[in-house]
Structure 1
Amino acid sequence: MRGNPLVEWLRVRFELSRSGEAQGNNHPMEGLRGFAVLLVFMVHYTGMTRPWLGTGASLLYVFSEALHTIGNVGVDLFFVLSGYLIYGSLIARQQPFRTFMSRRIQRIYPTFLTVFAIYLILSWFLPAESKLPVMLFDKVIYLVENLLLLPGLFPIQPLITVAWSLSYEMAYYLILPLLMILLNMRIRSPEWRYAFLINAAILIAVSCVFSGGPVRLIMFVVGMLIFESRKLGYDGRHGDITGFAGLVVGLGCTLIPLEGSWGLLLKEGSLFLSFWLFCGACFRVGTALWIQKVFSWTALRWLGNMSYSYYLIHGLALKAGFLGLLVVFHKGEYSPPVLYWSLFPLMFLLTLFPAAALFLMVERPLSLSKSIQRRPLFNS
Structure 2
Amino acid sequence: MTSFPHPSPPSPVNWPEPARAEAHRRARLDYLDGWRGASILLVLAGHFLHIPVLEAGKLGVELFFVLSGRLMAEILFIERMPLRHFYPRRIARIYPALLVMIAVSTLALAHTSMAIGPKYAAAAALLVYNYAAALGYHAGAIDHIWSLCVEEHAYLTLGLIAALTARRPARAWALLLALSLLAMANGVISTAVLGQNWYQSYWRSDVHIASILIPAVLFLSRQWHPQWWAVRAWMIPAALVVGAACFAGDLNHPPVWTGTLGTIAIAFALVWLDRGPVWLVRALSWRGLCAVGLLSYSLYLWQQPFYIHARDGDLALRMASLAGAAVMALISYYAVERPARSWLNLHYKRWLAQRRAMPQAMGAEG
Fold conserved (TM > 0.5)?
yes
AA in 2 matched with 1:85: L
What 5-or-longer segments of structure 2 have no aligned partner? Answer: 11-24, 191-195, 347-366
1:171 is matched with which residue?
153
Q: How far apart, in 1, do the equivalents of 2:91 and 2:174 lie?
A: 31
Q: Secondary structure at the match of 2:138?
A: coil
1:100 counterpart = 2:86: yes
1:356 counterpart = 2:330: yes
* Contact 2:48–2:311, Cα closer than 8 Å, also in 1: no
AA in 2 matched with 1:167: C
Match of 2:169 among 175, 188, 194: 188
Match of 1:199 among 167, 178, 193: 178
Match of 2:109 among 123, 127, 136: 123
AA in 2 matched with 1:290: W
Deviation at 1:355, TM superposition (A): 1.3
* Contact 1:152–1:164, Cα closer than 8 Å, also in 2: yes
Q: How far apart, in 2, do the equivalents of 1:228 and 1:300 lie?
A: 27
Quick one: higher RCO (CA 8 Å, sep 6+), 1 or 2? 1
2:122 is matched with which residue?
144
* Contact 1:29–1:282, Cα closer than 8 Å, also in 2: no
1:73 counterpart = 2:59: yes
2:34 is matched with which residue?
31
TM-score (normalizing by structure 2): 0.73
* Contact 1:238–1:280, Cα closer than 8 Å, also in 2: no
What 5-or-longer segments of structure 1 have no aligned partner? Answer: 1-15, 48-63, 133-138, 332-339, 371-380
1:251 is matched with which residue?
244
Q: Secondary structure at the match of 2:128?
A: coil
2:358 is matched with which residue?
none
TM-score (normalizing by structure 1): 0.70
Q: How far apart, in 2, do the equivalents of 1:346 and 1:130 lie?
A: 21
* Contact 2:142–2:305, Cα closer than 8 Å, also in 1: no
**Identity of matched residues, %:** 26
2:265 is matched with which residue?
274
Q: How far apart, in 2, do the equivalents of 1:122 and 1:276 lie?
A: 38
Deviation at 1:321, TM superposition (A): 6.8
1:289 counterpart = 2:278: yes
List per-residue Cα deviations over 1:75-96 (Å, max 9, x = no partner).
Answer: 1111111111122111134444
Aligned residue pairs total 308
Q: Secondary structure at the match of 1:65?
A: coil
Residues 280 and 363 of structure 1, relative CA distance in 2, 3 Å threshold: same
Residues 186 and 308 of structure 1, relative CA distance in 2, 3 Å threshold: farther
Deviation at 1:201, TM superposition (A): 1.7
2:95 is matched with which residue?
109
